[in-house]
Structure 1
């Protein structure tokens, strides 16, 4: 942080306010990103609601990039009710309005695309059975045994990600983020827990990389064919799993080395704390993000997220990583960046109040989520012990 005086007033210039030019030539006006957060507010068919459009508009303009909550690329990939969809052309009119609402004052609009895989239910899929890399049930309450995907289904799903990218381009988005994290389908193919195939799509580490790398290749080809050279392609990962077997950090670091030459424009690491160390190896005290940064090299920027609320938090992260994503704090304070730029940091809000609902344009389903499961995390008062509440909410919060 650089401190200077302007008109006799001491001002602060943070590194995270600097612009950043991606390798494809797209310039991002600053290094603060609105993280992808589930708001469960789309119509049943996945079409964007006006409430969602207003929610994203309220938070655009200050941040350099704004990433939507996850949008399913096919009907069989739907993970929860109220989920955004990019599975067919009927979504395009409202999707276009959403893209435009996110692009105010030069903010880059990024559509996160995903398939839930086994992290859904036959009820949500209206009677259809969930699918995954292998017919292995997730180790979570209420999960169902999925069907193992056939070769044809795998190739069709890869095409679904390409078609979703085409729709994002047609809708006016500045980019897509491929969601390879949070236990969803792409991660399920990478994980030895959920992928126990014996064909080219599974088995050893190299084969488990094939599906995510083919998804990236398809997305990149669609972008190339569109002629949109500055269209941004990001990729999100979760670096470890606690299941046995499960993804180990050493495997992720090998995968990251492959991702560094895949053509993506940034890598986004999904964790609850920017500075978290290994969950599986307590003797490893080096922050995971620093290890990933080393494996990634300097060609591709790293986006980090987790427990970033104050300008001091953001600047600390920006000293080590290129992009700093913020989630719950931008729900509470849509004008976070604008207030920092104006030197008005003392007015930044760090708590939610029911009286703020209308001003913050929080859709009713999201408000219900925040005021029940996520009271302590959202900065709301709670009668429960905060530590207990946080522990109970930790897994669902990964959606944010």
Structure 2
């Protein structure tokens, strides 16, 4: 087995948990849950095919509250009734030493009344997202905010009891945790909005809530991660200075890693085109070894992942490539890099566990999966797609 790559070396978190390598499969929505949010057989089949190689596998995001659902086919962790499926999912993902992490979230205003079956979406403030056909959300009452914070704790309890090795708080991709931090979506004047301290309160209270659940229900080897998006393009919106200040605060919280959500690992500022320094390096400097970092975005080949290691980033996440090649790590370990697949054919979908719902979701996202039009092409099968790793 080859050991020439640093990303194949194990990593031990401060809480003593050791993961077998530095490769992570990030949370990627497959839109294949049952209508009520329960884990489907198709999902279990997909994870059974794709797990076992990476050190950590982060499950697709799951809503912690009924009004937190963001899209059709989304799995839920909002009720104990989902425990049988969650338990099966954790068991399926934990093959060959892979750590199973469950990402949890609330979609907030990134939903609509159709998805919520007639219920108006909620957010920090009654401000619609800047996207086509966005609905104006209802501003959350303080009692509702406190309930959602408790819901994150309960979701963590379920993850622990189902057998997951950790949870990841989804504070990225414009969902509710980010909405409270953003000056665009949060126009509140109470303790949950306004200045920097108040806009970070929601996230910090959630971190406290999930830690309380871990202290009560898990041992000290349970992993808590946090995912963050560095910038927004809205005006007003999140800018890098605020994000770096927030990350400096997060680095001292009781969490075990920080997952930086970007479509390209070496992306520079969206708002300051004169700044040529990659954002991930700014974040690394701010964190200053207090937390391990996961970098994601267009990491496909072994050299791409090794470049992340060379920069002193602790983990490299492969998203779209893990869909195309479920044995990416195993083939590298066996010195079979030449057999790694970087394209996807219509004839391979069944063998990769990609059902029609997942395929349609990928098309809707315009994700760049490097489709190869072969014997049985789908309409526009060579269409360029983009952004799976951001979900």
Which of the five TM-score ranges fits, normalised by the shorter chain? over 0.9
Superposition RMSD in Å? 1.7
Alignment of 1:154-169 (within 5 A): 154-169=145-160
Q: Which residue of structure 1 lines up, in the alignment, with residue 334 of structure 2? A: 342
Inter-partner Cα distance in structure 2 for 1:359 and 1:274:
29
Contact 1:182 1:270 in 2 (8 A): yes
C-alpha change, 1:264 and 1:163, in structure 2 (3 Å) is: same
Quickly say closer, same or farther: Cα 1:87–1:377, change in 2 above 3 A.
same
- Secondary structure (helix, strand or coil) at the match of 1:66 reads strand
Q: Kindly tell me: are residues 71 and 108 of structure 1, through their superposed partners in 2, closer, same or farther at Cα, counting changes over 3 Å?
A: same
CA distance change for structure 1 residues 19 and 133 in 2, over 3 Å: closer, same or farther?
Answer: same
- Cα distance change, pair 227–361 in 1 and its aligned pair in 2 (3 A): closer
CA distance in 1, matches of 2:289, 2:330: 29
| Aligned match for 2:11, one of 20, 34, 44 | 20
Asked if structure 2 preserves the Cα contact closer than 8 Å seen for 1:180 and 1:238, the reply is yes
The answer to whether the aligner puts 1:358 opposite 2:346 as a matched pair is no
- CA 1:379/1:156 → structure 2, altered by over 3 Å: closer, same or farther? same
User: 1:95-134 residue pairs with structure 2 within 5 A?
Assistant: 95-134=86-125
**Displacement of 1:227 after TM fit?**
3.8
Change (3 A) 1:385 1:101: closer
User: Which residue in 2 is equivalent to 1:138?
Assistant: 129
Alignment partner for residue 322 of structure 1, among 314, 323, 335?
A: 314
- 1:333 is aligned to 325
- Tell me the residue number matched to 1:3: none
SS of the equivalent of 1:255 reads: helix
**3-state SS, counterpart of residue 350 of structure 2:** helix
1:218 aligns with 2:213: no
Shift, 1:54, TM fit: 1.3
SS at match of 1:358: coil
The alpha carbon displacement at 1:206 in A equals 1.5
1:359-399 per-position Cα deviation (integer Å, ceiling 9, x unaligned)? 111132112333x346660111489899xx65xx55x6464
> 1:373 and 1:125 mapped to 2: Cα distance?
19
- Work out the CA distance in 2 between the residues paired with 1:82 and 1:384: 23
> Does residue 45 in structure 1 map to residue 36 in structure 2?
yes
Give the match for residue 231 of structure 2.
240
Give the whole-Å Cα distance in 1 for the aligned partners of 2:367 and 2:31.
20
Instruction: Measure the CA separation in 2 of the matches of 1:210 and 1:69.
Output: 25
Separation (CA, whole Å) in 1 of partners of 2:389 and 2:95: 28
How many residues were matched structurally? 385
1:12-49 CA-to-partner distances (Å, cap 9, x unmatched) read: 61000000000111111000000100100000110000
Q: How does 1:376-387 map to 2 (within 5 A)?
A: 377-381=368-372
For 2:304, the equivalent position in structure 1 comes to: 313
- State the match for 1:76 in structure 2: 67
- 1:177-192 superposed matches below 5 A: 177-192=168-183
> Which stretches of structure 1, 4 residues or more, deviate above 3 A after TM superposition?
372-376, 381-386, 396-400
Q: Which runs of 5+ in 1 are unaligned?
A: 1-5
- How many angstroms apart in 2 are the aligned matches of 1:331 and 1:140? 28
SS of match in other structure, 1:298 = coil
| Change beyond 3 A, Cα 1:385–1:89 | closer
| CA drift at 1:127 | 0.7
Gap change, CA 1:385 and 1:76, over 3 Å in 2: closer
Preserved CA contact (<8 Å) 2:171 2:226: yes
Look up the SS of the partner of 1:377 in the other structure.
Answer: coil
Deviations 1:68-91 (A, max 9, x none): 111000110000110010000000
C-alpha distance in 2 between matches for 1:122 and 1:374: 21
Shift of 1:355: 1.1
TM-score normalised to the size of structure 2? 0.95
Partner of 1:189, secondary structure, is helix
Q: Could you state the TM-score of these two structures normalised by the residue count of structure 1?
A: 0.93
> In 2, Cα distance between the equivalents of 1:26 and 1:12?
21
**Distance across 1 between alignment mates of 2:81 and 2:134:** 30
The 2-side partners of 1:373 and 1:366 are apart by: 10
Larger CA deviation: 172-181 vs 216-225: 216-225
| Paired residue secondary structure (1:233) | strand
